[in-house]
Amino acid sequence: MHPFMNRKLCTVCFGLFALTLSAMAQEAQMVTLRFISFPKSANPEPVQLLIGPGETMEIKAPTNALSTPYRVKRLSVWSVGKVEPAKSKDEKPTFISYGSAPSLESSDQIILLIRNGKENLDSMQVIPMDNRSNNFGGGQFFFMNATTVDIAGMLGGSKFSLKPKSYIIIKPAELKQREEEGKGMFFTEFYFRKDDDVRPFFSSTWPHNEKARSMVFFYHDPHNDRLRMHTIRDYLP
């Protein structure tokens, strides 16, 4: 082969290699986000996610399931809010932040939005979570204490305690088999502490499913201030 053709082929190969590296670098900068919000709402209002300087996208944050995945560029901070249009020609639209939090290194994240009041404008607590299966996988439970009291519990032999506004991911340690179905079950029990008094408020036997993960929110019923639970189950492929 003529030396000139060798040089030309090398140039083409180098160009293709550079394009491949560029595509891989761009893909590495992308992150998959799924959103969920609390407290419960029949029609939660969408919010806008800041995805770059002066650039936003509308996202839905349901209260009964994880949202559809959103593919965005990786940022160091996730901020949610709303863009207010300019009031005059001389002004620019303004992004009003409801809340923000540092991003995780994970390429797959759940963004939990906890409303601090009845409306989004009352501000939000933004909690990014690693959505990879080795961190929050099947058979695991995410517990969030959205009350004003301490919560403690036992989940199939796994004990935990939560201060207000704290959370934990755990998995039941002990399972019992149901002979008629061959499925695992575990006993769970929850307590709350008011002053120095510890009181039980829930106990039950729950089914175990390695293909499902659950999010459990403890909260006060706004009508009578009693402790309640809101549970969301997400089935993995």
Report the 3 state secondary structure along 37-58. EECCCCCCCCEEEEEECCEEEE
Cα–Cα dist 140/47, whole Å:
28
CA separation for the pair 79, 97 (Å, rounded): 7
Residues of the chain with pLDDT under 70: 1-28, 177-182
What's residue 174's pLDDT?
Answer: 84
Do the beta carbons of residue 199 and residue 190 sit within 8 Å? no
Gyration radius from the chain CA atoms: 24
- How many angstroms separate the Cα of 210 from the Cα of each of 202, 206, 213, 231? 23, 13, 8, 17
Domains and CATH numbers, the chain: 29-131 (2.60.40), 133-237 (2.60.40)
Q: Is 18 helix (H, G, I), strand (E, B) or coil?
A: helix
- Within 10 Å of residue 236's Cβ, how many Cβ atoms? 13
Q: Residue 227 forms beta bridges with which residues? A: 220
For residue 100, give both structure tokens: 């923000």
232 Cβ neighbours under 8 A, 6+ residues apart? 36, 64, 65, 66, 214, 215, 216
pLDDT at 25: 39
Cα separation, 5 vs 13, whole angstroms: 12
Strand partners for 84: 94
- Output the pTM of the full model: 0.81
